[in-house]
Amino acid sequence: NHIKKYFPISGGIFKHTVGHVKAVDDVSLKISKGETLGIVGESGSGKSTLGRVILRLLEPTEGEILFENNDISYLGNRKLRDYRKNMQIVFQDPFASLNSKMSVGELIEEPLLVQSSASKSERKEKSVELLEKVGLRASDRMKYPHEFSGGQRQRISIARALALHPKFIICDEPVSALDVSIQAQVLNLMADLQDEFNLTYLFIAHDLSVVKHISDRVAVMYLGRIAETAPKNSLYKNPLHPYTQALLSSIPSTDTRNHRGKIKLSGDLPSPANPPSGCAFRTRCSYAHDRCSMERPELKHYGNGHYVACHLYDDTTT
Ligand code: SF4
Ligand code: MG
């Protein structure tokens, strides 16, 4: 609820704080049990920072984080540990996120060693079971990360994330570093595991095509704020925000009914240290009008769970 994460910028000869990067600037989201919420935005939109704040890997500047109705925003480390078992993250880069000096068995068993009372034989049994669940072999326990392909390494990361039976997993661009041909396999695996273990996902991606199949709802972020959020079908069929429309028109469509012309995003993402006044998207928006530079559009309800932050809809939202 109302999460803000500001990073101080230091400058001058005394390295004092001269401003802030508003990486996440007042974001509220609710994710229901068993649901997948996709979060999409360009790099610099604040989506990964938001994910880390939700897990308390980064401290929020403001706002609260509720897990099963418990406020975990300011829990100390010891209490937080109990929650950490329930919440895991799978990172984008399976090359950097797996310690290359540990065997696959050690990697998967480490969370059990640190955070459970499982015996050595129980840990081994569990890692074998998890390896098989993610489509690897029991004998892979003895190998090291470098012996695997990118897709296989991401399977190892997923097995490790599952070791403590989490309820909620943040998937931070888990397939972005993989070959396109492998992406679908890993996404399918994640969808299967979600059903099997009744997992709830927050799935972060930089393009709308990746989250299309796996998400129930999608939120589009721009410069630290949510531009639009809606149930999946509503978002893809009837994107309201000019930014969402531009993102969608840039994915190749096989749907012949989709005659929407290509909308080009002009210019780069402005710096989150110095965002435009009013609507942050106005410097790239072809519908920008006077009001857009003066007043920041709030996220408002358009109907049926579809929310948009854009002055074009002021008459049709509540
Ligand atoms: Fe474009 Fe204005 Fe809507 Fe922002 S508020 S997206 S600038 S029309
Ligand atoms: Mg990221």
How do residues 92-109 score in pLDDT, each as one tens digit?
Answer: 877 778 999 999 999 999
Q: Please give the model's pTM, rounded to 2 decimal places.
A: 0.92
Q: What are the residues whose beta carbons fall under 8 Å from the beta carbon of 291, sequence distance 6 or more?
A: 278, 311
E strand or H helix that includes residue 150: helix 150-162
- Surrounding residues of ion ligand 2, Cβ less than 5 A: 48
Q: State residue 94's pLDDT score.
A: 72
Instruction: Give, in degrees to the nearest 5, the angle at Cα 237 between 181 and 29.
Output: 85
| Side-chain half-sphere exposure of 275, counting CA atoms within 13 A | 23
pLDDT, tens digit, for every residue of 129-172? 999 999 999 999 999 999 999 999 999 999 999 999 999 999 99
- Of the candidates 221, 316, 310, the one whose C-alpha atom is nearest the C-alpha of residue 29 is 221
For position 291, what pLDDT does the model report?
96
The sign of the torsion formed by the CA atoms of 233, 218, 252, 210 equals negative
Question: How much is the pLDDT for 256?
Answer: 44
Output the CA 296–ligand 1 centroid distance in Å: 9
**Cα–ligand 2 centroid distance for 305 (angstroms):** 26
Closest ligand to 170 CA? Answer: 2
Sign (positive or negative) of CA dihedral 310, 311, 315, 318: positive
The tokens 């034989």 sit on which residue? 121
**From the CA of 227, which ligand is nearest?**
1
291 CA to centre of ligand 1 in angstroms: 9
Q: Are strands 300-303 and 306-308 parallel, antiparallel or unpaired?
A: antiparallel
Amino acid 253: pLDDT: 62
The number of the ligand 1 atom at minimal distance from the alpha carbon of 279 is 4
| CATH superfamily membership of 3-86+166-313 | P-loop containing nucleotide triphosphate hydrolases (3.40.50.300)
Which residue's CA is the closest to the ligand 1 atom numbered 5? 310
Residues in contact with ligand 1 by the CB-under-6-Å rule are: 241-242, 279, 281-282, 285, 287-288, 292, 297, 310-312
What is the reported pLDDT for 54?
A: 95
Predicted local distance difference test score (pLDDT) of residue 74: 87
Pick from 243, 263, 287 the residue to mutate for probing ligand 1's pocket: most ligand atoms within 8 Å of its CB.
Answer: 287
Q: The tokens of 310 are what? A: 């854009």
Q: pLDDT tens digits for the chain (318 residues)?
A: 999 999 998 887 888 888 889 999 999 999 999 999 999 999 889 999 999 999 999 999 999 999 999 999 988 888 888 888 899 999 887 777 899 999 999 999 999 998 889 999 999 999 999 999 999 999 999 999 999 999 999 999 999 999 999 999 999 998 988 888 899 999 999 999 999 999 999 999 988 998 998 999 999 999 999 999 999 999 999 999 999 999 998 776 655 445 455 677 877 889 888 899 999 999 999 999 999 999 999 999 999 999 999 999 998 888
- What pLDDT score was predicted for residue 233? 96
- ipTM (interface predicted TM): 0.94
